[in-house]
């Protein structure tokens, strides 16, 4: 048997076990799943030393392999990060049980009573990279929504993920649920990803990729199962002529610089040409003074000698860094046009005191999240009050925007009659 | 340029035109789209002679090609069928406008007001077979929900579809909407289907296949865009020990025989072993007397000499004909087990006067539609009060069960603030 055959066999078995475990989850109570989540949190705290030791092994190997600073930071765990994971699991436990909830109900003229009732999606495959906390977050979100999870983490974080996964299993067993409700792919061979994407259609109902462009591109290319996609966030802030300068300044700085590595960080600032003198200059200077590199069009270049010239590529770029592209546009129409052309339909914000202009923007910009007078960095399931999220979907299909427990469900129709037959 | 290259070019142009037209639809009012639909209905009535002449050409060619009786019936149009199409379009026009509706709204502690608002999916590709009325139904449903449609009908019905499509275009133009809102693929070359499935990901947001197993299989194999799938309906009726015989009889006969060619027709009758004498015999005889072929297990064979022996394949078969498989099962647990093993998660019904047993069945059977004391033939968007449907989804992702205008939408989040930045 070749390695690939062995991996294929392993993955098929994982798939069968996931389906069987999901059957148990479908008939579990919300209380039982909450109990399991609380036990997971307890196990994470109890196993802190073991998790840190495993993480240390990953960190040493990654350092030796020459991983960059940002990647090492994503990989590293400490006591505070483990406590944050445990608290995250407890927050998910405290969310209302989505399963069995009646989403809609109505009665037909013939007396049939129809209910649309929330059910799990089934088996969810999550493919991610170096952040070990995804093992915990994704497992907990799937468990809450009664989905079985097959987790495939990055090879850099494998030891950390195994240690965290042990805590997930401990929690499941403590609540009398099968360990196979949350499985971690035991091999770091990339062939396992290929199996999940293309040869487990019988077992996996949906794939959630979490990672950079190359991972997402591979998933979109190879997947034979539905995908909840998370593409890049080329987010825009448009400052309209009727914006209040102080508010615009606060929102632009927060949207760009609060955290530069998140998908909801602003990458492009659009300023209304009618406010070139009053708003463009102050905003550009403020960004530069805060340490942000500014790449601008002719108007931005004229505003401050520190501005560098923007090229066409800049309008397409998700910097994920302290760099911003700045452009003057012809009012809200110009902003909408620019966003339609260069945006990634993730998150865009307008700053204006003009309610009619704001409505124009909110209605016509076709992004998962559109904001008026608020920072793009609110693009986050927690900030939306959804408790936690498995990512921000840039798809239009099934789920759009933050993907929380509710977005990890499907529904079925329950119809109650009294002997009705169809004429 | 080869034929394939020419087809690829044609399809790319269709895609670009669809995206542009969809942009117009996104900003159209519900009233304008309703006006277009009423104009479509008027055009269908006005062009009746032309549609019938085109259909006559299709029928002649199909007869010459030796198409079967059922296929010819699906293909044939007459004045009544055209009037039914026109009325269907008017019913769709009368539905509430789904676009712009607020699905949910809430306010966060920081004052951000969040609304989840319905938006179109975008561009929908519909690939179907010989029924020309799908051209009309699918086009109208997409228009109602502000989606652009690219329709690819079967070659047998091409002339009919072109004539019907002319009416759709007339309606669009009458309401000032672009003709490209609903496009019909001009070629019947199968390469065009391949283009839609795999090489138009940039333009097409979702594919809806409507047709037999081979079409659906091809779509599932080749599609690189999301699919709203419609697999077979191996629907079950379970008659419990606590069923009323008269009600069971009415439901079983209706579920199997009202129309045998629809996906909601029952294919298997399961009878509680505790009611072998009281219910199995009478139901089997009733079916046989009504002209239905019965293929049964040992108990069914013993009930009447006209019963033929069922093989393993029968439990897997969607007959779409006056044939039913009959089996004795061990109570509701046995029924649930059989359905989990052989069903297609489409539609199942339990007949019982025992409320607790009914709840067991409704909760534990994992199908898009589960019914208590009602016929499986209610599996239909119109019967559900959804106005019309583009099919019954057996997927769990995005849409499950009848796919009406609401299921052809996505949503976006509109967030209104007063200067909030994220801490």
Same-domain pairing of B213 and B264: no
Interface touch B205/A396, C-beta < 8 Å:
yes
Which residue from A27, A112, A362 is facing B364, i.e. has the nearest CB?
A27
Q: How far is A86 from chain B (nearest CA, A)?
A: 22
Please tell me the predicted confidence (pLDDT) of residue B350: 98
Q: How far is A369 from chain B (nearest CA, A)?
A: 5
Q: How far is A375 from chain B (nearest CA, A)?
A: 5
Which residue from A254, A370, A415 is facing B421, i.e. has the nearest CB?
A254
**Angle, alpha carbons B17-B23-B29 (nearest 5°):** 130
CATH number, residue A241: 3.40.309.10
User: Which position has the higher pLDDT, A230 or A21?
Assistant: A21
A335-365: pLDDT as tens digits? 999 999 999 999 999 999 999 999 999 999 9
Identify the burial level of A378 via C-beta atoms within 10 angstroms of its C-beta, where 0-12 means exposed, 13-18 middle and 19 or more buried: buried
Same-domain pairing of B253 and B204: no
Q: Which residues contact A190 (CB under 8 A, 6 or more apart)?
A: none
Please tell me the predicted confidence (pLDDT) of residue A340: 95
Interface touch B400/A411, C-beta < 8 Å:
yes
Among A233, A230, A243, which residue's Cα sits nearest to residue A374? A243
Same-domain pairing of A258 and A298: yes
Which residue from B370, B383, B419 is facing A414, i.e. has the nearest CB?
B370
Same-domain pairing of B223 and B259: no
Same-domain pairing of A184 and A268: no
Domain annotation covers residue A107: yes
Q: Strand pairing partners for B210?
A: B128
Same-domain pairing of B158 and B256: no
Q: Strand pairing partners for B125?
A: B150, B207
Same-domain pairing of B273 and B222: no
Q: Report the C-alpha dihedral over residues B238, B239, B241, B244, rounded to 10 degrees.
A: 150
Interface touch A370/B205, C-beta < 8 Å:
no
Q: Which residues contact B238 (CB under 8 A, 6 or more apart)?
A: B270, B271, B272, B329, B332, B335, B339, B348, B349, B350, B351, B361
Same-domain pairing of B243 and B222: no
Coil/strand/helix, residue A60: helix
- Compute how many other C-beta atoms are within 10 angstroms of the C-beta atom of residue B301: 18
Size of interface A-B (CB pairs under 8 A): 183
Domain annotation covers residue B127: yes
A294 Rama class: left (phi>0) / alpha (psi -120 to 50) / beta: beta
Domain annotation covers residue B370: yes
Which residue from A244, A370, A374 is facing B412, i.e. has the nearest CB?
A370
Cα–Cα distance measured from residue B423 to residue A356, given in angstroms and rounded to the nearest whole number: 28
Interface touch B400/A410, C-beta < 8 Å:
yes
**pLDDT mean by block of 10 residues, chain B; 423 residues:** 89 97 96 98 98 98 92 93 96 95 96 97 94 94 98 95 98 98 95 94 94 83 86 94 98 97 95 96 98 98 98 96 97 98 96 98 97 97 89 92 96 97 96
Same-domain pairing of A179 and A275: no
Please tell me the predicted confidence (pLDDT) of residue B211: 82
Q: How far is A231 from chain B (nearest CA, A)?
A: 14
Please tell me the predicted confidence (pLDDT) of residue A130: 80
B184 neighbors B136 (Cβ within 8 angstroms)? no
Same-domain pairing of A174 and A251: no
Q: How many CA atoms lie within 13 A of B330 on its CB side?
A: 3
Whether the per-residue pLDDT at A231 is higher than 80: the answer is: no
Sheet holding A123-128, edge to edge: A182-184, A148-152, A123-128, A206-210
Please tell me the predicted confidence (pLDDT) of residue B167: 98
Instruction: Name the residue in chain A with its Cα closest to that of B415.
Output: A371
Domain count along chain A:
2
Domain annotation covers residue A339: yes
Same-domain pairing of A111 and A243: no
Mutate which of B119, B413, B423 to test chain A, going by most A C-beta atoms within 10 A?
B413
Cα–Cα distance measured from residue B236 to residue A273, given in angstroms and rounded to the nearest whole number: 65
B419 neighbourhood in chain A, CB within 8 Å: 244, 247, 250-251, 373-374
Same-domain pairing of B16 and B162: yes
Instruction: Name the residue in chain B with its Cα closest to that of A250.
Output: B421
Cα–Cα distance measured from residue B20 to residue A423, given in angstroms and rounded to the nearest whole number: 43
Which residue from B224, B370, B398 is facing A415, i.e. has the nearest CB?
B370
pTM of the model: 0.93
Please tell me the predicted confidence (pLDDT) of residue B108: 97
A361 neighbourhood in chain B, CB within 8 Å: none
Please tell me the predicted confidence (pLDDT) of residue B213: 78
Please tell me the predicted confidence (pLDDT) of residue A211: 82
Please tell me the predicted confidence (pLDDT) of residue A18: 98
Please tell me the predicted confidence (pLDDT) of residue B217: 82
Cα–Cα distance measured from residue A169 to residue A166, given in angstroms and rounded to the nearest whole number: 5
Domain annotation covers residue B387: no
A185-194: pLDDT as tens digits? 999 998 999 9
Domain annotation covers residue A395: no
Phi, psi of B210 (to 5 degrees): -130, 110
CATH number, residue B406: 3.40.605.10
A161 neighbors A131 (Cβ within 8 angstroms)? no
Domain annotation covers residue B274: yes
Place of tokens 């798809």: A395
Cα–Cα distance measured from residue B210 to residue B392, given in angstroms and rounded to the nearest whole number: 10
Interface touch A226/B106, C-beta < 8 Å:
no
Structural domain boundaries enclosing B111: 3-230+399-415
A416 neighbourhood in chain B, CB within 8 Å: 358, 362, 371-374
Domain annotation covers residue A122: yes
Instruction: Name the residue in chain B with its Cα closest to that of A116.
Output: B369
Q: Which residues contact A315 (CB under 8 A, 6 or more apart)?
A: A268, A325, A327, A338, A341, A342
């Amino acid at each position: 048997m070749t390695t690939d055959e062995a991996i294929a066999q392993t993955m098929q078995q994982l798939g069968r076990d996931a389906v069987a475990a999901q059957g148990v989850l479908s008939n579990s109570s919300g209380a039982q799943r909450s109990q399991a989540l609380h036990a997971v949190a307890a196990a994470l705290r109890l196993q802190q030393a073991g998790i840190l030791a495993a993480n240390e092994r990953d960190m040493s190997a990654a350092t030796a392999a020459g991983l960059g600073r940002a990647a090492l930071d994503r990989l590293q765990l400490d006591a505070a990060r483990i406590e944050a994971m445990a608290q995250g699991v407890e927050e998910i436990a405290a969310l209302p049980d989505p399963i069995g909830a009646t989403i809609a109900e109505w009665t037909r003229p013939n007396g049939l009573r129809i209910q649309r009732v929330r059910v799990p999606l089934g088996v969810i495959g999550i493919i991610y990279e170096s952040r070990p906390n995804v093992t915990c977050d994704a497992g907990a979100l799937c468990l809450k929504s009664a989905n079985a999870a097959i987790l495939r983490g990055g090879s850099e974080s494998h030891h950390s993920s195994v240690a965290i996964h042990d805590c997930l299993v401990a929690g499941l067993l403590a609540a009398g649920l099968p360990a196979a409700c949350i499985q971690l792919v035991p091999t770091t061979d990339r062939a396992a990803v290929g199996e999940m994407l293309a040869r487990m259609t019988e077992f996996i109902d949906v794939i959630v990729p979490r990672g950079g462009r190359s991972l997402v591109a591979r998933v979109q290319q190879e997947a034979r199962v539905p995908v909840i996609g998370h593409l890049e966030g080329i987010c825009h802030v448009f400052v309209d002529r009727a914006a209040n300068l102080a508010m615009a300044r606060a929102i632009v700085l927060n949207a760009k610089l609060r955290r530069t590595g998140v998908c909801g960080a602003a990458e492009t600032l659009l300023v209304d040409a009618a406010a070139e003198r009053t708003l463009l200059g102050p905003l550009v200077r403020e960004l530069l003074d805060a340490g942000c590199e500014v790449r601008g069009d002719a108007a931005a270049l004229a505003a401050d000698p520190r501005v560098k010239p923007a090229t066409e590529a800049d309008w397409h770029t998700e910097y994920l860094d302290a760099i911003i592209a700045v452009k003057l546009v012809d009012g809200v129409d110009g902003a909408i046009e620019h966003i339609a052309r260069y945006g990634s339909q993730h998150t865009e914000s307008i700053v204006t005191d003009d309610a009619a202009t704001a409505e124009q923007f909110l209605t016509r910009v076709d992004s998962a999240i559109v904001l008026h007078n608020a920072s793009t960095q609110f693009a986050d399931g927690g900030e939306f009050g959804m408790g936690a999220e498995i990512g921000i979907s840039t798809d239009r299909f099934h789920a759009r925007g933050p993907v929380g427990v509710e977005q990890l469900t499907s529904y079925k129709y329950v119809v109650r009659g009294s002997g009705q037959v169809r004429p």
